[in-house]
Structure 1
Amino acid sequence: MNLPELIILDPQDTVAVALRDIRAGETVEGIVAADPIPRGHKIARHDLRRGDAVVKYGQVMAVASADITAGAHVHSHNCALPNQHSEQSSVKGSLPVPPARQTFEGYARPDGRVGTRNYIGIMASVNCSSTVCDAIAAEANRILKPKYSQIDGFAPIVHDQGCGMTNQGEGFDTLVRTLKGYRDHPNFGGVLIVGLGCEVNQLTLYKPSDWTRERIKTFNIQDVGGSRSAVRRAVELLEPIAAAANMDRRSTQPVSKLTLGMQCGGSDGFSGITANPALGVASDLLVAAGGTSILSETPEIFGAEHLLIARADAANGQKIRDMITWWRDYVGKNGASLDNNPSPGNKKGGLTTILEKSLGAVAKGGLSPLSGAYAYAERIDQHGFVYMDSPGYDPVAATGQVAAGANLVAFTTGRGSCFGSKPTPSIKLASNSELARAMPEDIDLDCGTVVSEGVGLTQMGQKIYDLLLDIASGKKTVSEEFGYGDNEFVPWKIGAVL
């Protein structure tokens, strides 16, 4: 099969993406390279004058900061962020034909939600109890896990917040909302919440509902005699919880019970060409089958928010505009810019501006209509494709999605990323085949075959969809096999540390 050496994503594009390293002076598909063009980077299709729009995906991703000749390498050295970007989009949202496969094997919970895993959570209310929670999880996994084979293990949910903060306002509300989302998560068959006793974030905020009373327990270290005593007390409380959770069994459930959190990290020039749009196809299939998918990372949709707004009703479109306004103010107060993104690794992989990165990132959302817009860690209460506000930092964004109810996470990467998100399995999707070969221990599916072997995006999206259902039904991800997820709970920290 003769594969292309360049890819043009839209007829209006002024740049093409190199599918291999190109030497200066080479003629590739009618373009003479004026510079060396690394694989995944952009080459100018024709001359551009300083101030001209640089167009990729049919959208403005930058302006030329210097004159650019046809065949030149187009990147950070000759591109700048435009003062304004388009708010127009012809994409209004549409759904594919529902897929044939519409069930998975999951754990039905009394509140109607369904788990894809059966962990028991050991949650810290405050940083001061985090070390003890780690010790409790380790001891429970040593003593209790061998006795109760139907649970996936004891997962420590620890963090660095909970005190040194006010007991009201945006930062405190965000922490409480996040912890409650984990407390009630369907991937937990039971939860133990441990406090120190004197912190701002008191255990009284986390009283269980009636149906969970036997599965959720709490205590403060100061009330039981100290750290070692707390571990002994915890194991006593966890034994009946583990025995109850050990009785839980998987049963056939509709795809409408799945909520997928979508992430991208360590992106490269291929992320928006292979893994992200392929995940978008899988997201559309999930939504068409009645499920829910969540797109997040507001700093990484900046410049492409109009593509989401065009697929939303007026109320949800305004919510997204308000999020962008909040973020402009937030970064301004902290002496930063939304174009501080992309990261050095993103740029090495071929991404030039936040607009280019955002246009590729939004591709994860497919073409489905946008049915809701939510605050960080706010519980998702409807089906369909939705947006949740979050930072672009992957652990923080994924933590918010899991708190909102995601019982699956799909994570695309082009540079390589090491990540897990207990209690929710995280599926890794490589944007290029070189990465899949270089880091096989961290990649579940190679989406780079879209360019390396000519696999269609529709076919790749179906592969992702089937993998999601397999993972939801109990197949382990490579991240789970390694044991990731004990250190990636990172609630968004907003506000003053006092």
Structure 2
Amino acid sequence: MSREGQDPVNPNPVIRLHPSDNVLVARSELGLGQQLADPAVRVRAQVPAGHKIAACAIAAGTPVRKFDTVIGVAARDIAPGDHVHAHNLTLVDFYRDPAFCQDVRPVDYVPEAQRATFNGFVRADGRVGTRNFIGILSSVNCSSTVIRQIAAHFTPQRLAEYPNVDGVVAFAQTSGCGMSSPSEHFDVLRRTLAGYARHPNLAGVLIVGLGCERNQVASLVESQGLEPGPAVHTLVMQDTGGTRATIAAGIRAIESMLPAASAAVRQPVPASHLKIGLECGGSDGFSGISANPALGAAMDILVRHGGTAILSETPEIHGVEFMLTRRAVTPEVGQKLLDRLAWWERYTAGHNAQFNGVVGHGNQQGGLANIFEKSLGSAMKGGTTPLQAVYEYAEPIDQAGFVFMDSPGYDPVAVTGQIASGANLICFTTGRGSMFGSKPAPTIKLASNSAMYHRLEEDMDINCGLVLDGELSVPQMGQRIFEHILRAASGEPTKSELLGLGDNEFVPWHLGIVS
């Protein structure tokens, strides 16, 4: 990555990401008529930071390349210095050789005795939590108010005598009844609820149902292999005596779990117990230059220490899936990823969905013209290690290393699936400034640029804009992120936790017909 057009007043105004690129990225806002280092390139428009300009003449129909990857073709002749964006860039899909396993490189694992550690909660089955909550799940929307009121009873004052409990949190949801059964939606909902119920960041769980819903509590528990006991309680409102009686019974159930939950203490454990969900939201033109590759560098470190990195958001690898299939450890793993993309193509056909090319308003304002360009940056969060496995949404992840979990690109839905799959911490990159948190697994937010970081510092944990500013290299930023992850996993509060976010971000994926 090089910088051109340096001058004392506006140093490094553009970034050339690859020698083969025919576009440059504006490091800061470019003015009409501004002359870059190359005399042949004079800026021909007012160009916002993070957007692209043509580095040379690009004829109509010619591929436009960023990171030496085609992100579209010129819709018309583009002159050197022209602003290149959705107005003159056309998305054209084409065949890409998946080249299964071609780029698989062996991982230089750190010897077990030398691996990094964090202080976590070790559960009876050997899994490790980064937080210690008691959770309340609703089997159906009809019991959501009840579980919220049960959780609201446990104020900080009432929990003061249980210092090792991070809180009592309600995971209310809006489905569970008016849905096809059996169906994919039904299976996904149950898998998601079960993933939370057995999550290592929960010391105990209460599941509350209404009684007449399709997602019956008893069959939910039985079908998902959950075992009622001291740490798993269930209530059915119609059997318990209604709203107030269920709230009272729920409070008693939580009170019975608190002493054992508070008896749990943190202890040193290897970083191999970390499962990190990788998310991006409110991306901009800098996300693929700073925050996403830096997070990828941190995940390479994590994998070397035996941990697990979970990339998701299937629509946001559309167009760059070959970057992952070439790293698949077997052709079968690579094909499973392509099969999920084919499912998404059928699922979104005829709809104005991101998968079909259109990105969100904030993405476009931040310099991303289409889904291929966004995907190019999004995939970088996964680093460079081999793709070990591909999972469906909320499917338990049992393979260490870099893996992929199918999900929508909508942040709360994607993160909900990652947590249900076992992620005990989330790393969330953003260029525009997403305000997001999650429970029971906390979220670390990584800003792609310094201007946004300083404007929203109360919400952002890490400033990856230091890469753009020339203060840190991507590997150095990756090391800093990895060290921050270890501290957060050991209990250091994230910015979203300090702000109280995470109570409304449990959003299971809705699929199919609601009747």
What amino acid does structure 2 have at the position aligned with 1:411? F
What amino acid does structure 2 have at the position aligned with 1:384? G
| Residue 51 of structure 1: aligned partner | 61
Matched length:
498
1:206 is aligned, of 212, 215, 221, to: 221
Give CA deviations for 1:108-138 in whole Å, capped at 9, x if unaligned: 0112210000000011110000011110100
2:388 is the counterpart of 1:371: yes
2:183 is the counterpart of 1:173: no
**How do residues 366-445 of structure 1 correspond to structure 2 at under 5 angstroms?**
366-445=383-462
Partners of 1:210 and 1:182 lie apart in 2 by: 11
| Residue 3 of structure 2: aligned partner | none
Once structures 1 and 2 are overlaid, which stretch shifts more, 193-202 or 25-34? 25-34
Partners of 2:44 and 2:415 lie apart in 1 by: 41
What amino acid does structure 2 have at the position aligned with 1:134? R
Partners of 1:97 and 1:57 lie apart in 2 by: 29
Partners of 1:168 and 1:44 lie apart in 2 by: 53
Once structures 1 and 2 are overlaid, which stretch shifts more, 475-484 or 133-142? 133-142
What amino acid does structure 2 have at the position aligned with 1:206? V
Any conservation in 2 of the 1:412–1:431 contact (CA below 8 Å)? yes
| Residue 252 of structure 2: aligned partner | 236
2:496 is the counterpart of 1:486: no
| Residue 15 of structure 1: aligned partner | 23
1:104 is aligned, of 107, 118, 126, to: 118
Any conservation in 2 of the 1:121–1:191 contact (CA below 8 Å)? yes
2:196 is aligned, of 138, 158, 182, to: 182
TM-superposed deviation, 1:339: 3.2
TM-superposed deviation, 1:333: 5.3
Partners of 2:293 and 2:183 lie apart in 1 by: 38
Give CA deviations for 1:38-78 in whole Å, capped at 9, x if unaligned: 11100101001111000001110111111100110000100
| Residue 148 of structure 1: aligned partner | 162
TM-superposed deviation, 1:93: 4.2
| Residue 299 of structure 1: aligned partner | 315
| Residue 125 of structure 1: aligned partner | 139
Any conservation in 2 of the 1:110–1:211 contact (CA below 8 Å)? no
Alpha carbons of structure 1 residues 472 and 144: separation in structure 2 relative to 1, 3 Å: same
| Residue 33 of structure 1: aligned partner | 43
| Residue 456 of structure 1: aligned partner | 473
Alpha carbons of structure 1 residues 98 and 41: separation in structure 2 relative to 1, 3 Å: farther
Alpha carbons of structure 1 residues 88 and 58: separation in structure 2 relative to 1, 3 Å: farther
What amino acid does structure 1 have at the position aligned with 2:277? G
| Residue 42 of structure 1: aligned partner | 52
| Residue 315 of structure 1: aligned partner | 332
Q: What is the SS of the residue equivalent to 1:277?
A: helix
Partners of 1:218 and 1:141 lie apart in 2 by: 22
Any conservation in 1 of the 2:119–2:269 contact (CA below 8 Å)? yes
1:81 is aligned, of 80, 84, 91, to: 91
Q: What is the SS of the residue equivalent to 1:279?
A: helix
RMSD of aligned Cα (Å): 1.8
Q: What is the SS of the residue equivalent to 2:136?
A: strand
Alpha carbons of structure 1 residues 357 and 85: separation in structure 2 relative to 1, 3 Å: farther
What amino acid does structure 2 have at the position aligned with 1:203? V
Q: What is the SS of the residue equivalent to 2:143?
A: helix
2:292 is the counterpart of 1:276: yes
Partners of 2:474 and 2:115 lie apart in 1 by: 18
Q: What is the SS of the residue equivalent to 1:246?
A: helix
Q: What is the SS of the residue equivalent to 2:298?
A: helix
TM-superposed deviation, 1:221: 1.2
TM-superposed deviation, 1:98: 3.8
Partners of 1:371 and 1:140 lie apart in 2 by: 41
Partners of 1:93 and 1:474 lie apart in 2 by: 34
TM-superposed deviation, 1:140: 2.3
Partners of 1:29 and 1:132 lie apart in 2 by: 65
Q: What is the SS of the residue equivalent to 2:418?
A: helix
Any conservation in 2 of the 1:60–1:86 contact (CA below 8 Å)? no
What amino acid does structure 2 have at the position aligned with 1:6? V
Using the size of structure 1 for normalisation, the TM-score is 0.97
Once structures 1 and 2 are overlaid, which stretch shifts more, 36-45 or 392-401? 36-45
Give CA deviations for 1:260-292 in whole Å, capped at 9, x if unaligned: 000000000000000000000001000010000
TM-superposed deviation, 1:146: 2.2
| Residue 178 of structure 2: aligned partner | 164
What amino acid does structure 2 have at the position aligned with 1:60? V
Partners of 2:98 and 2:55 lie apart in 1 by: 24
Partners of 1:337 and 1:285 lie apart in 2 by: 31
TM-superposed deviation, 1:143: 6.5
Partners of 1:192 and 1:64 lie apart in 2 by: 56
Give CA deviations for 1:352-375 in whole Å, capped at 9, x if unaligned: 111010011001011000000000
Give CA deviations for 1:294-330 in whole Å, capped at 9, x if unaligned: 0000100000100000000201100011011000000
TM-superposed deviation, 1:96: 5.7
| Residue 346 of structure 1: aligned partner | 363
2:272 is the counterpart of 1:256: yes
What amino acid does structure 2 have at the position aligned with 1:103? T
Give CA deviations for 1:229-251 in whole Å, capped at 9, x if unaligned: 21111111111211110100011
Q: What is the SS of the residue equivalent to 1:266?
A: coil
Q: What is the SS of the residue equivalent to 2:446?
A: strand
TM-superposed deviation, 1:88: 5.9
Partners of 1:83 and 1:387 lie apart in 2 by: 23
Once structures 1 and 2 are overlaid, which stretch shifts more, 270-279 or 210-219? 210-219
Give CA deviations for 1:402-422 in whole Å, capped at 9, x if unaligned: 000000100000000111110
What amino acid does structure 2 have at the position aligned with 1:202? Q
Any conservation in 2 of the 1:126–1:161 contact (CA below 8 Å)? yes
Any conservation in 1 of the 2:115–2:270 contact (CA below 8 Å)? no
1:477 is aligned, of 462, 479, 494, to: 494
Q: What is the SS of the residue equivalent to 2:478?
A: helix
What amino acid does structure 2 have at the position aligned with 1:272? G
Identity %: 48
TM-superposed deviation, 1:83: 3.0
What amino acid does structure 2 have at the position aligned with 1:278? A
TM-superposed deviation, 1:166: 2.3
Q: What is the SS of the residue equivalent to 1:141?
A: coil
What amino acid does structure 1 have at the position aligned with 2:361? P
Using the size of structure 2 for normalisation, the TM-score is 0.94
Partners of 2:231 and 2:109 lie apart in 1 by: 40
Q: Which runs of 5+ in 2 are unaligned?
A: 1-5
Q: Which runs of 5+ in 1 are unaligned?
A: none
1:66 is aligned, of 76, 96, 99, to: 76
Alpha carbons of structure 1 residues 144 and 193: separation in structure 2 relative to 1, 3 Å: farther
TM-superposed deviation, 1:161: 0.5
1:290 is aligned, of 300, 303, 306, to: 306
